[in-house]
Structure 1
């Protein structure tokens, strides 16, 4: 039916508006219950701005659809006990993937966002894009084999990727991983014959996990830094994750903190990642005479432990903290956050040992007034943060899907 014909039918446009509003309310209610993890109808009505009748109708639908459940009750003031609502864990599942340059961690989450199964593929050495693609297909196939009964309720696969993930006008996505020396590659959609694939930069998926469930929850303006082998950032503004014109905003790791400085893996000089990425930190320690095993969590931990007694190691750590302060100080001046969240395995190590020094270094490198307005906190989640945030992409798609299309065959 044409738009002109629809407008000629009495009530058609009004009906469409009512349907749209009903879907918006349903989406808001489902997201609220998922984020709260346990709530009541009255609290849902209050926080989402619904009438009591609307809250009751929406929750009845969600219970009927198997997405939420009554999980108990609490005493009321003299009346009947008040029912508690929570996500129904087996109501749906989502796959979240942390794609690294050395392998992939593929994790299956239930609707309460508890991880129920995990498969890792890869090794200690850097892998090619074709290796990563093979790893992904094998890991997803293995999860499917072990979770046959759950698979019809799996919503999709979310990928947290090391690089810029750009969304084309037709909705297709392309990965630009310049730092890894990869040519631009379309996001693979053939990981499972039945599941859609969603993709985003890994730092953004970490930020989404912290926004929904972690240290950025309830914060309107925050930045979430990821420090690992690569360096990334998620910017939260007005309670939403910033994406930019083509979904690739906040590539903080490749902003410059020293003109003509150290060579970065991206081919440019002076990037934040050239000073704060794990390889850059450990190469600096090696240049100062440091000796250590590996290039990961334990090696960075060894550096931080050695700095207590070794002047050369202490100098490396001092330089890292000053570089981090300068890099995040500029972010403070640009975004005026209420909260800075530092995560990633390198970031967590640094925050464990030197949170106060990091906060002081940031404040030395930003305007005084803005420096008084933020707090610095560690990320809530550990190594599963990127995968958890990636799983939220198919879950968001579920939230936005009209009821009539749910689990359509």
Structure 2
């Protein structure tokens, strides 16, 4: 989310710089509110953003001129003039978010109302490499461009949710470190060939961004957003902001330890959370009981849960262990961060929350301090399996919110 609360350090800036900064801040506030609400009015914008009605009206006029919002009608007021409704202009900008997983990429095109316009999936191999991922991303983008030629001139940028740590250098270049996949460090620019802005972040953090902007963490000052899939990740929201750490490695929860000398994790260490509640760990534990099933994804996990429903003791034991391990891992996080809400997402998390949300909540509270556990609520991810892609698309959306676009008729200033 656009951070309009952080202060500037150093000496006083020139008055013109202060005015420009204030205008940018207010524009960001108003545009963010329009995007998040989906439908609002100038009066509501003034109240919610702490502006005068005149200022809100001027900013809305600027955003209309930029082509980002439009007036869509009016509603009756209490004895006064009708109230004009302001909404995002869907075709005002388009955004692409890509969920880059370990076995393929899901690339999604959104309009400015964050309605999914189109989607393309590529991959499905068991042995993805940076090279195959790059090929799949390029193919998927080309397929979307061919089907949506009218959207491409208004494309604000591409966001990538990646399976690893993404570091950003001082010059803006980004590098992916996917230790669990055994990949060498990969320049993000080598993963995608797109003539426009590209931003990348860890997939668990993009999921948290989606929940923070439009989902279950919106308006929540302190939250944990957990991603359970083949990998296990986390987004920590504190004071309404997503936490990154000094080099964006904060919240690598999947590789914190819950058992000394425990199960071997894909990262090479032992006892990591992912080695107990990641999809491969869950299914390998079930296979070790003698169970026979097909696949290693959604269907296989569904087979496990179906077996639990039928009273299969081996499957029940596996699920019990998973929920216990998840409760231990989340309980420690609750003690560390004191969240108001825990959001569970990722395809494994979505399946577990469908029928076992109460058990997960109970296991977490049993492993947290009593008072901290009493202050918690648990919810499932708002967007299901699309959450990482939605969050990835928010990265170019944040740039659009932060930086005003040239308006029709604007004349560039000479140097």
Instruction: Find the counterpart in structure 2 of residue 239 from structure 1.
Output: 240
1:7-406 matches, within 5 Å, as 13-188=14-189, 191-308=192-309, 309-404=311-406
Deviation digits for residues 73-131 of structure 1, max 9, x if unmatched?
A: 22100112111111000000011000011111111110000110111110242311100
Rounded to whole Å, the distance in 2 between the matches of 1:126 and 1:26 is 46
1:290, distance to aligned residue in structure 2 (A): 1.4
1:72, distance to aligned residue in structure 2 (A): 2.3
Rounded to whole Å, the distance in 2 between the matches of 1:184 and 1:118 is 28
Rounded to whole Å, the distance in 2 between the matches of 1:408 and 1:126 is 52
The answer on whether the counterparts of 2:95 and 2:112 sit within 8 Å (CA) in structure 1 is yes
SS in 2 for 1:144: helix
Rounded to whole Å, the distance in 2 between the matches of 1:26 and 1:305 is 51
The answer on whether the counterparts of 2:168 and 2:247 sit within 8 Å (CA) in structure 1 is yes
Rounded to whole Å, the distance in 1 between the matches of 2:276 and 2:334 is 19
Deviation digits for residues 346-366 of structure 1, max 9, x if unmatched?
A: 001111111111111001111
Change (3 A) 1:129 1:405: farther
SS in 2 for 1:280: helix
The answer on whether the counterparts of 2:159 and 2:394 sit within 8 Å (CA) in structure 1 is yes
The answer on whether the counterparts of 2:277 and 2:322 sit within 8 Å (CA) in structure 1 is yes
Rounded to whole Å, the distance in 2 between the matches of 1:189 and 1:42 is 47
The answer on whether the counterparts of 1:304 and 1:353 sit within 8 Å (CA) in structure 2 is no
TM-score by length of 2: 0.93
| Structure 2: runs of 5+ lacking an equivalent | 1-12
Instruction: Find the counterpart in structure 2 of residue 7 from structure 1.
Output: none
The answer on whether the counterparts of 2:215 and 2:381 sit within 8 Å (CA) in structure 1 is yes
Rounded to whole Å, the distance in 2 between the matches of 1:145 and 1:291 is 43
1:149, distance to aligned residue in structure 2 (A): 1.7
The answer on whether the counterparts of 2:167 and 2:175 sit within 8 Å (CA) in structure 1 is yes
Change (3 A) 1:199 1:405: farther
SS in 1 for 2:262: coil
| Structure 1: runs of 5+ lacking an equivalent | 1-11
Rounded to whole Å, the distance in 1 between the matches of 2:406 and 2:331 is 48
Deviation digits for residues 248-299 of structure 1, max 9, x if unmatched?
A: 2100000001111000000000000000110100000000121111111111
**Aligned length in residues:** 398
Rounded to whole Å, the distance in 2 between the matches of 1:118 and 1:204 is 21
SS in 2 for 1:140: helix
Rounded to whole Å, the distance in 2 between the matches of 1:388 and 1:305 is 30
> Higher mean Cα deviation, 273-282 or 292-301?
292-301
Change (3 A) 1:107 1:52: same
SS in 2 for 1:134: helix
Q: RMSD across aligned C-alpha pairs, in angstroms? A: 1.7
SS in 1 for 2:292: coil
Rounded to whole Å, the distance in 1 between the matches of 2:190 and 2:147 is 21
1:192, distance to aligned residue in structure 2 (A): 4.4
Question: Moved runs in structure 1, 4+ residues, more than 6 A?
Answer: 405-409
